[in-house]
Amino acid sequence: LVDQSYKRINEVEDKVEAFLTLDEEKARSYAKQLDEAIGTKDQFGLLFGMPIGIKDNIVTKGLRTTCASKILDNFDPIYDATVVQKLQQAESVTIGKLNMDEFAMGSSTENSGFKVTKNPWNTSYVPGGSSGGSAVAVAAGEVPFSLGSDTGGSVRQPASFCGVVGLKPTYGRVSRYGLVAFASSLDIIGPITNSVEDNAYLLQAIAGVDPMDGTSANVEVPDYLSALTGDVKGLKIAVPSEYLGEGVSEEVKQSVLSGLKVLEGQGATWEEVSLPHSKYAVATYYLLSSSEASANLSRFDGVRYGYRTDNASNLLELYKQSRSEGFGDEVKRRIMLGTFALSSGYYDAYYKKAQKVRTLIKKDFEDVFEKYDVIIGPTTPTPAFKVGEKISDPLTMYANDILTIPMNLAGVPAISVPCGLSTEGLPLGLQIIGKHFDESTIYRVAHTFE
């Protein structure tokens, strides 16, 4: 499998550019070691011998981890993220580190400090972001498994654009220890795979409470594979009118309605509901996530690690110049926005207000989940857009996240599964949203599409 993985990477990597760093020598020798162990043991890891790619904001001991930022160009972490340790226990083989928008800020992978990853369905189109490399590596057949991170849609949106399965677990379901923080109250690591079954395997391997992450939840991890029963009889589905309204393209709407028909045919029922505060989600998210990012990214100061300028004659200049030269434009935009929103005099008007709206958005979900098992809608308002199309207009780019952001604000889990093709032959995604810690029901519903 590992041979196959590198063979495919050699064939397609120059066209799609999903990887930032490959770990070929180590991967091959570990695979050999696993091969040799086959006859000698009777217990195998859950992902024994499975090639996996890891988003470059998840730290890997001794393996370059850049967050696709020049400021971390030559950063070799001294420890493994908890998810990486768990993958080692599962005996999967790390193939390399995957491209992304710098510090996970973006929706197209065009904000990478190193290269632009392309959509394998049509290389003139973006793969989505920020986990573009993670979705592409799976969609292009370079690896069967990958990990992404999702702060406002970064696993689900690229999965949708690339025709693969991507899950944002419940906030706290997977440890964030070793995930370079963007917005700590929203960040979560999520699995990207070709099938729902593979996705359940990967979540099984990485989920669970972690003493190294105080926000990881002490909630029992169920057997996700046993949820894949194919039975959705009696399931109650809510479809928010806001998710099929203005700005959502007709073909996206039709693909969701056809998905709902499939579920109806199997004995589920659906009704239209309202999530009235949805319209405030994008503004709320960009205020809160940028505020948290401005604090989290203060650690990149040119002193402790990463890039350091040669053009400074005192300490203040060293900070300023290292950050000016090391960070890209989008990252600087967020730091400025966040610093402004948190500054005294503006804090109550922006940050505090946004926190209050976040509570209302969360309550919208709680109200709906009192009566329904899952919520269904599109993952994105449109299929993938062209490389270069939105990059010079940040607000249009931000608006693209309107259907994925509310779940991060509410902390609920959500999956994107492929649901047909657009007229241009690009994948469309259907999003299934569940109650807190109820990934099993999401998987059960998603599985019926396979």
Is residue 130 among the annotated active site residues? yes
Q: How far is the CB of 46 from ligand GLN (least distance, A)?
A: 26
Q: Contact with ligand GLN (CB under 6 A): which of 151, 204, 322, 379?
A: 151
Q: Which stretch binds ligand GLN (CB under 6 A): 24-32, 104-112, 203-211, 371-379?
A: 104-112
For residue 413, report the phi and psi dihedrals to the nearest 5 degrees. Answer: -80, 155
3-state DSSP assignment of residue 269 = strand
Strands 51-55 and 93-98: parallel
Nearer CB in complex with ligand GLN: 130/175: 130
Site string for ligand GLN, 271-310 (x = CB under 6 A): ------------------x---------------------
Separation CA 94–CA 22 (nearest Å): 9
Which residues fall within 8 angstroms of residue 287, CB to CB, at 6 or more apart? 337, 341, 350, 351, 354
Q: What residues numbered 152-211 form the site for ligand GLN, per CB under 6 A?
A: 152-154, 182
Q: How far is the CB of 186 from ligand GLN (least distance, A)?
A: 8
Q: How far is the CB of 281 from ligand GLN (least distance, A)?
A: 12
CB neighbourhood size of 198 (10 A): 19
Which residues fall within 8 angstroms of residue 247, CB to CB, at 6 or more apart? 381, 399, 402
Q: Indicate the Cα dihedral angle 270, 375, 230, 153, nearest 10°.
A: 150
Separation CA 212–CA 283 (nearest Å): 32
The residue from 92, 107, 108, 130 that is catalytic is 130
Q: Contact with ligand GLN (CB under 6 A): which of 110, 401, 438, 439?
A: 401
**CA 283 to each of CA 190, 272, 288, 353: distance values in angstroms, whole numbers, following the listed order:** 24, 25, 9, 11
Q: How far is the CB of 154 from ligand GLN (least distance, A)?
A: 3
Q: How far is the CB of 254 from ligand GLN (least distance, A)?
A: 25
Q: What residues numbered 118-137 form the site for ligand GLN, per CB under 6 A?
A: 130
Q: Contact with ligand GLN (CB under 6 A): which of 104, 135, 237, 415?
A: 104
Q: Which amino acid would we find at residue 110?
A: E
Q: Contact with ligand GLN (CB under 6 A): which of 107, 146, 170, 199?
A: 107
3-state DSSP assignment of residue 26 = helix
Please name the residue that has the structure tokens 């270069």: 388
Q: How far is the CB of 440 from ligand GLN (least distance, A)?
A: 23
Which residues fall within 8 angstroms of residue 377, CB to CB, at 6 or more apart? 239, 240, 243, 244, 256, 403, 430, 431, 433
The two tokens of residue 274 are 């309202």
Nearer CB in complex with ligand GLN: 77/129: 129
Nearer CB in complex with ligand GLN: 100/428: 100
Q: Contact with ligand GLN (CB under 6 A): which of 53, 96, 106, 413?
A: 106
Q: Using the rule CB under 6 A, is 379 a contact of ligand GLN?
A: no
Q: Which stretch binds ligand GLN (CB under 6 A): 101-109, 113-121, 194-202, 295-303?
A: 101-109
For residue 449, report the phi and psi dihedrals to the nearest 5 degrees. Answer: -85, 0
Q: How far is the CB of 150 from ligand GLN (least distance, A)?
A: 5
**CA 328 to each of CA 23, 71, 133, 231, 340: distance values in angstroms, whole numbers, following the listed order:** 26, 9, 18, 48, 19
Q: How far is the CB of 316 from ligand GLN (least distance, A)?
A: 29
Q: Which stretch binds ligand GLN (CB under 6 A): 68-76, 99-107, 260-268, 378-386?
A: 99-107
Is residue 320 among the annotated active site residues? no
The H or E element containing residue 296 is: helix 281-296
Q: Give the total residue count for the chain.
A: 450
Nearer CB in complex with ligand GLN: 153/326: 153
- How many residues interact with ligand GLN (rule CB under 6 A)? 13
Whose CB is nearest to ligand GLN? 154
The two tokens of residue 14 are 């120059």
Residues pairing with 147 in the sheet: 54, 191
Is residue 289 among the annotated active site residues? no
**CA 15 to each of CA 353, 403, 413: distance values in angstroms, whole numbers, following the listed order:** 45, 30, 33
Q: Using the rule CB under 6 A, is 150 a contact of ligand GLN?
A: yes
Q: Using the rule CB under 6 A, is 99 a contact of ligand GLN?
A: no
Separation CA 135–CA 137 (nearest Å): 6
The residue from 154, 290, 291, 294 that is catalytic is 154
Please name the residue that has the structure tokens 């799976």: 138
Nearer CB in complex with ligand GLN: 255/400: 400
Please name the residue that has the structure tokens 């959500």: 414
Q: Contact with ligand GLN (CB under 6 A): which of 105, 275, 331, 442?
A: 105
Interface with ligand GLN (CB under 6 A): 104-107, 130, 150-154, 182, 289, 401
- Residues with catalytic annotation? 55, 130, 154
